[in-house]
Structure 1
Amino acid sequence: MLSDKQLLALADEIYEVALDPSYWEELLTSLTSIFRSDFVGVITQDHGSGFCTWFHGVGMDDHDIVRYATYYGTISPTFFQLQVTGVGDVITDEMHLNRRIYTNSEFYNDFLKPLKLERSAALIMERNAHDQTYLALRRPDRNHYTDEELQDFSRVASHLYRAIKLQRRTHFQDRLETAINDALDHVKSGLVLLAPDGSAIKFNKEAERIIAAHDGVYVRGNRLYIERSSCLVDASRLVNGDCSTNPQHPESEAVAIQRPLKRPYILFAYPLGRNDGNTAIHSGTAVFITDTERNHNLTTETIGQIFGLTPAEARLTAALAEGRSLQEYSDAANIAISTARSTLKSVFKKTQTSRQTELVRLVFSCTGSTN
């Protein structure tokens, strides 16, 4: 039986897997040695089909893993018995309800025997409405698993299950972070997140583009600076009162950053984490930077899609949103002004507007803040 010291050392290996999935093979190789097994695997199988939806194992080559995952695992007597076994319970090849049926099965004779993996032990670690996850050991027929080994098997499986749950949570967090980064890159404004100490910790793509232009917004070290009255100001100080234009209301700050040859950047800074009413404590700052030189108008295709307009109606709406008059549009489109007016009436009806200014305001309200 494993000593407490051995189990503790093994637990360190197990929880490394939770942090770094690349350690799976190393961990499972250690388990083959501890349990004197030729194969160790962690497997998730679908209840209905029996197909393996997740498989980490050592002791089988890729070809045999595919054979098990797509066919032999689905007809295995062990798979069917595991479905009625309690979570945390161990089942061995000797515990099958009908061992003769087991040893005469296609799974046993055509898959296990050629691989010399007749002896088995498995433990259900998790079961939900769709599938079950279990730890499996297999070795040649000459040695069955002892009671002491099965006790160790249960102890190890409990740690492994916790590690798998942690890995899933970590994996979810990784995917969530990737999704958030993708979402931030669709924000039309530049976005910089500042830590409570003022250091910049996140930039979206638009912010990186603005900073790379070196015309009013800069990064020095790991801090964000903006140019005001020919001086560089730390952007984190905008919402802390000392550089605020409105220190009585530090919940936000708006600043125009002038540029010599272009329209200004518009910067909005918002302190984060002040929902508890304590304005002295915050979790950082969100800095939005809008480049007023950039054209953020909706495309003709998008306008048509949003409002259900015909291509002609969408082209007219886009032209009005760009500031052209109805006459200018009809001239450019080489159509009669009466046709343009008729088209506009149809647009008014579909967009539930009645005036051009109202229509343009509606279009601009739909541009939102994303690309």
Structure 2
Amino acid sequence: MRDETRAYRLIEFIYQAVVEPDAWNEFLAELSSMLGGAAIQLSLRMPREIPNPDDIYRVWLDEAYHPVFVKHAIMGLGWESMDADLLRRGFGSAADVLPASDLTTRPLYLEFMKPQDLAAEWPLCHMIAMEGALPLAGVIVYRRENCRAFDASDLDLLDSLVPHLGRAYAIHARLCGALRASDALTEVIDRIPTGALLVDGSGNVVLKNRSAGKILSLEDGFSLHRGQPHLADPRENRAFRELIQETVRGHATQGSATGEVMSVTRPSGRRPFSLMLGPLLAPPPDTSTNEARAIVFIADPEGGQIGATAVLETLYDLTHAEAELVRLIAEGNSLDQVAAARGVTMNTVRSQLKQVFSKTETRRQGELVHLVLAGVASIQRGADAKD
């Protein structure tokens, strides 16, 4: 008769492992003990992912033999002839369809099981998930030499865990998908040249992109104070704090869906930062205050908006010199400043600008700057975004 308290503890470990993967090790250790010291392998590979060693948990099995197992899994473990539907519904053994004597002559036993002191009998198996016709996640339970034989109560215990393993795997797969989506979105906002900060219901920053981090590192009129955005100018800061409170409480003025805008004075005397604050989608009434409610965009007119000229060269068939000219103009430099920065004459600058107008089909500097900054040239590439 199985210990119900320990069985419930196994179920607790299963759901704990959804958010704390190390709990799978505790689950396997407890399950092994209840099965008389069985060796167990648990595979939790996610759909459409390359196999990852971190997705495999084991007890009483040597990790060094895993490549051997993989080799035989590719060639065929021997229990492929078993009914896959039955293995998805519960635990089964190839002993139901294959003789034990057949196992002892197989390379799987000779190269993987025997060296690890696993008994010469077919293991118990359960498929948690499949991808097409191939196993994706599952559990394999081996009896070890000199350990007691499995009995009907062991199989009952294992089968009682099947629905919980399936639910936990499904939840884990959804969480992994959400984390991948979150990582991808984070990468996207990190490539935007404008600083972006997400603010929660208490006014605290819950996420910021790299561009915002660069502006904060300047310590020039825009900072974080106790985790909240802060402007150096007291009058501007009071107005900004009021706007944040109105926005996160859902009382933003009409038309603010496009954002409230303001200039941020910089103690250095450089051109002010441009700031826009807007609400995110209205959260449900019971949403916690630590979820993002508003977004703050902040731009440095003197910051480099074009990280590399190679994109400009490719998009508009510009020479390197012409692309460098466009980059400097887009950053707000006058033609005199461009000439001085590049060490060329004004005639050279004007001649190159004429070529740029022709290639980009623009007529004025303002039109050229808008074309460049509104296009993909201002989006940072992966390597550039991490600088």
By how many angstroms is 1:165 displaced?
2.6
Match of 2:32, as an amino acid?
A: T
The 3-state SS of whatever aligns with 1:263 is coil
By how many angstroms is 1:75 displaced?
3.3
Aligned: 1:113 with 2:118: no
Aligned: 1:149 with 2:154: yes
Partner of 2:69: 68
Ranges in structure 1 where 5+ consecutive residues have no aligned partner: none
Looking at structure 2, the residues matched to 176 and 67 of structure 1 have their Cα atoms a distance apart, in angstroms, of: 34
Looking at structure 2, the residues matched to 193 and 78 of structure 1 have their Cα atoms a distance apart, in angstroms, of: 52
Aligned: 1:138 with 2:147: no
Partner of 2:309: 300
Partner of 2:20: 20
RMSD: 3.9
Match of 1:265, as an amino acid?
A: F
Looking at structure 1, the residues matched to 197 and 45 of structure 2 have their Cα atoms a distance apart, in angstroms, of: 44
Contact persistence 1:38–1:59 (CA under 8 A) = yes
The 3-state SS of whatever aligns with 2:24 is helix
Partner of 1:205: 210
TM-score, length basis structure 2: 0.76
Residue from 129, 132, 147 that aligns with 2:132: 129
By how many angstroms is 1:159 displaced?
1.5
Alpha-carbon spacing, 1:118–1:255, altered in 2? closer, same or farther (3 Å): same
Match of 1:270, as an amino acid?
A: G
Looking at structure 2, the residues matched to 300 and 368 of structure 1 have their Cα atoms a distance apart, in angstroms, of: 10
Contact persistence 2:192–2:378 (CA under 8 A) = no
TM-score, length basis structure 1: 0.78
Looking at structure 2, the residues matched to 315 and 361 of structure 1 have their Cα atoms a distance apart, in angstroms, of: 16
- Identity of counterpart residues, as a percentage? 19
Looking at structure 1, the residues matched to 254 and 321 of structure 2 have their Cα atoms a distance apart, in angstroms, of: 51
Contact persistence 2:261–2:277 (CA under 8 A) = yes
By how many angstroms is 1:349 displaced?
5.9
Contact persistence 1:320–1:356 (CA under 8 A) = no
Looking at structure 2, the residues matched to 364 and 266 of structure 1 have their Cα atoms a distance apart, in angstroms, of: 15
The 3-state SS of whatever aligns with 1:81 is coil
- 1:339-358 to 2 correspondences below 5 Å: 340=351, 344=354, 350-351=359-360, 353-357=361-365, 358=367
- 1:220-299 to 2 correspondences below 5 Å: 220-228=225-233, 230=235, 232-233=237-238, 235-238=240-243, 247-251=253-257, 252-260=259-267, 261-274=269-282, 284-297=293-306, 299=308
Contact persistence 1:91–1:123 (CA under 8 A) = yes
Q: Deviation string for 1:73-100 (max 9, x for gaps)?
A: 6332124536575521432142124555
Q: Deviation string for 1:259-283 (max 9, x for gaps)?
A: 242111111000111499xxxx996
Q: Deviation string for 1:206-256 (max 9, x for gaps)?
A: 3334334443223332332224564632745215559xxx94434321011
Match of 1:222, as an amino acid?
A: G
Q: Deviation string for 1:53-76 (max 9, x for gaps)?
A: 753211111222221123366332
Alpha-carbon spacing, 1:127–1:227, altered in 2? closer, same or farther (3 Å): same
The number of aligned residues is: 355
Contact persistence 1:38–1:138 (CA under 8 A) = yes
By how many angstroms is 1:291 displaced?
1.8
Alpha-carbon spacing, 1:317–1:295, altered in 2? closer, same or farther (3 Å): closer
The 3-state SS of whatever aligns with 1:232 is helix
Looking at structure 2, the residues matched to 298 and 283 of structure 1 have their Cα atoms a distance apart, in angstroms, of: 29
Match of 2:77, as an amino acid?
A: S
Looking at structure 2, the residues matched to 176 and 45 of structure 1 have their Cα atoms a distance apart, in angstroms, of: 18
Match of 2:24, as an amino acid?
A: W
Match of 1:355, as an amino acid?
A: R
Alpha-carbon spacing, 1:148–1:215, altered in 2? closer, same or farther (3 Å): same
Looking at structure 1, the residues matched to 83 and 52 of structure 2 have their Cα atoms a distance apart, in angstroms, of: 14
The 3-state SS of whatever aligns with 2:169 is helix
Which structure has the highest strand share of the two? 1
Contact persistence 2:103–2:120 (CA under 8 A) = no
Looking at structure 2, the residues matched to 241 and 38 of structure 1 have their Cα atoms a distance apart, in angstroms, of: 61
Aligned: 1:324 with 2:352: no
Looking at structure 1, the residues matched to 45 and 298 of structure 2 have their Cα atoms a distance apart, in angstroms, of: 49
Contact persistence 1:37–1:137 (CA under 8 A) = no
Q: If you compute each CA radius of gyration, which structure gives the higher value, 1 or 2?
A: 1
Contact persistence 1:226–1:234 (CA under 8 A) = no
